[in-house]
């Protein structure tokens, strides 16, 4: 493996938002399958593989848009915002595919829930890196209906499971600009003696 190429891949990963997608171009389902295959190779405690992905494409994007916008309208109460409602209706239609990110609670009672969540986050990082390798764009969003218990069954999740957000995928129409990170020294402590 070319470690320089891998380092470049990791450091060039960017979030790409629905308004940046070329909505006239669709990603081939075969590529989505490869990306998801990479996702399920993420590390996880006890080989529980707690992730559950629901993929929306084609007419399925309209179904998702309708479901999430109407559930939001129904449950938001005093926090309802027309702009949020509109985005929940429109943004899915800008993507080629959307993957609902689910976490199925481990059957092993000795695995803390946080470790299942961490495993799903590792799977999502594999999605991000795979998209970058394919020259595609995407982002993981956790707004809208993500934390509504009433949404879970729509995505094949049970009461003990969690919906952790949505991964939007598309061809890049408008690239993201550069990004920076704080110096490593501000984020790392070495203990060597």
Q: How high is the mean pLDDT of the chain?
A: 96
The confidence score (pLDDT) of residue 31 equals 98
Helices (H), 13-144: 29-39, 59-75, 82-90, 113-134
**Cα 119 from Cα 166, distance rounded (Å):** 16
Topology (CATH level 3) of domain 14-186:
NADH Oxidase (3.40.109)
- Residue 46: pLDDT band with limits 50, 70, 90: confident
The confidence score (pLDDT) of residue 179 equals 85
The confidence score (pLDDT) of residue 191 equals 95
Taking residues 50-78, what's their average pLDDT? Answer: 97
Kindly calculate the radius of gyration of the chain based on its CA atoms and give it in whole angstroms.
18
161-193, pLDDT tens digit by residue?
999 999 999 999 999 887 889 999 999 999 999
The confidence score (pLDDT) of residue 107 equals 83
The confidence score (pLDDT) of residue 67 equals 98
The confidence score (pLDDT) of residue 106 equals 83
The confidence score (pLDDT) of residue 110 equals 87
Q: Shortest CA distance to 115 belongs to which of 46, 22, 13, 190?
A: 46
Q: Phi and psi (nearest 5°) for 139?
A: -155, 155
The confidence score (pLDDT) of residue 177 equals 83
- Residue 109: pLDDT band with limits 50, 70, 90: confident
Question: For the chain, what are the domain ranges?
Answer: 14-186
The confidence score (pLDDT) of residue 33 equals 98
124-163, pLDDT tens digit by residue?
999 999 999 999 999 999 999 999 999 999 999 999 999 9
**Whole-number percent of the chain with pLDDT over 70:** 100
Taking residues 88-101, what's their average pLDDT? Answer: 98
**Cα 119 from Cα 16, distance rounded (Å):** 23
The confidence score (pLDDT) of residue 176 equals 87
């Amino acid at each position: 493996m070319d470690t320089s190429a891998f380092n470049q891949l990791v450091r060039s990963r960017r979030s790409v938002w629905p308004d940046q997608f070329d909505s006239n171009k669709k990603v081939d389902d075969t590529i989505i399958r490869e990306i998801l295959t990479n996702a399920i190779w993420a590390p996880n405690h006890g080989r529980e593989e707690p992730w559950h992905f629901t993929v929306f494409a084609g007419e399925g994007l309209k179904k998702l848009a309708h479901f999430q916008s109407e559930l939001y309208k129904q449950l938001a109460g005093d926090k309802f915002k027309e702009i949020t409602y509109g985005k929940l209706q429109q943004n899915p239609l800008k993507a080629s595919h959307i993957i609902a990110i689910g976490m199925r609670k481990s059957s092993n009672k000795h695995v803390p829930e946080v470790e299942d969540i961490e495993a799903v986050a590792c799977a999502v990082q594999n999605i991000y890196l795979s998209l970058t390798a394919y020259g595609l764009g995407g982002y993981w969003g956790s707004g809208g209906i993500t934390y509504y218990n009433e949404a879970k069954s729509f995505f094949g999740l049970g009461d003990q499971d969690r919906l952790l957000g949505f991964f939007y995928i598309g061809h890049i129409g408008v690239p993201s600009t550069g990004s920076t990170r704080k110096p490593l020294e501000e984020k790392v402590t070495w203990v060597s003696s």
